Amino acid sequence: MDGIPILPRLTSVYVTSIFSPLRGRVLSCHNLGCLALIHPSIRGLRLRLSRKGKVDEALHRIMSHIAATAQSLEYFRSMYSPAHLGNPGLLTHFTRIRHVTIDGDIHPSDLRDVAKLSGLRRLSIPLYTSLSSERLVSSSITDLHVEDPWNVLGGFLERAHVPQLRSLHIITESSAKSPLGADASQLLHIVATVFTTLEILSIEWKDDCARRVDAPIRAPYSAGRLADITEPLLPLRALREVSLDFRGYDLEYTSRDVQALSEAWPSLEELRLNFRTAIGPRSGIESLTHLAHNCPHLRILDLPGMDAADDALAAAWTPAASHPNLYGLVIERVVFQGMDEAKMWQFIARQFPKAARRATVGPKNY
């Protein structure tokens, strides 16, 4: 177990343990053969360890062996933070580490250790109340993934100092008593103020009622205007990929809103908007012309419900040349208002010939 490592060319190890109440099988200091897999050539390590039973000694031995052996580690992922596994400061042993993912409650000391990792590029952590007063500081992180309720997340991001950040992924939710529009607008104002060099932004705003199995089906109601939520983001001219996921919420958005986004983000390559549009108003199909004209690099476009009105399409300006790059187009649903479906497809084909062959249009309402 502590001799010559097996599989010396192995570069990635996934260590897991499963507790069985029937057989009493659990990771222990007596079955740590996995240590023979961890050697100086390992670049990636993922730990998913059961803490049921008497496993503290086993976990401590694993963490100590990793700290002493895997000096070239570049990727580390664990259900538990190193400090909670009995090895504070473990992350600082890995001078080459580039990616850190903690799937459970991270300890404040581990977050402070992040500032010492000069090669760290990607950090993914959930935010709990234990971090409510902590400050993330890193001169190297370019990609940050965070998840937590809004009341902790907003202050955490506002205090952060990550000047090289280019990619931000957020999963959050509002409190039951707080409206989506106000919270989302405030959060995105913080994002745009603190992280001015963003190129990739992904927001997933969970609807707590929609996720509960026992929750009654909620009738559609307006959760505000998309324009009010996205307005703080318009100055971020470098954005290349934007995903705003507000599924479960009904938002109003118009063709003018789509035009404003297309004009604000000329470098867009991917745009994904996900929310309900049962109430309206909805943007019209004609708003695709703004994206075709203003975003020449656009490759992926996912939009919520849209209206197809014949008079609006007739008045729409059409770019002289078709869009050369878009190949993925999804429209959640289309509400027809006097337009023939064949005419809609002809319009899409003129704007985006590559995408028209594989475009997906959801349920159609006539």
pLDDT value for 77: 92
The stretch 322-339 carries a mean pLDDT of 93
In a domain, 8, yes or no: no
pLDDT digits (tens, 9 = 90+) for 64-105: 888 888 888 999 998 888 887 777 888 888 889 999 999 888
User: How much of the chain, in percent, has pLDDT values that exceed 90?
Assistant: 50
Q: How many domains does the chain have?
A: 1
| CATH code of the domain containing 117 | 3.80.10
The stretch 33-54 carries a mean pLDDT of 75
In a domain, 115, yes or no: yes
In a domain, 134, yes or no: yes
Check whether 178 has a pLDDT greater than 70: no
In a domain, 68, yes or no: no
Q: Please tell me the distance from the alpha carbon of residue 362 to that of residue 220, in angstroms, as a whole number.
A: 19
pLDDT band for position 222 (cuts 50, 70, 90): confident
Residue 107: alpha-carbon gap to chain centroid: 22
Q: Which amino acid is at 187?
A: L
pLDDT value for 24: 46
In a domain, 136, yes or no: yes
The stretch 272-277 carries a mean pLDDT of 95
Residue environment code for 17-40, b if the CB has 16+ CB neighbours within 10 A, otherwise e: beeeeeeeebbbeeebebbebbbe
User: How much of the chain, in percent, has pLDDT values that exceed 70?
Assistant: 84
In a domain, 131, yes or no: yes
Q: Record the pTM.
A: 0.88
Token output for 107 = 């300890």
* Residue where the block lists tokens 């929310």: 275
Average pLDDT, the chain: 85
**Range of the structural domain that residue 296 is part of:** 75-85+98-211+218-361
* Residue where the block lists tokens 């202050």: 155
Q: Please tell me the distance from the alpha carbon of residue 34 to that of residue 56, in angstroms, as a whole number.
A: 16
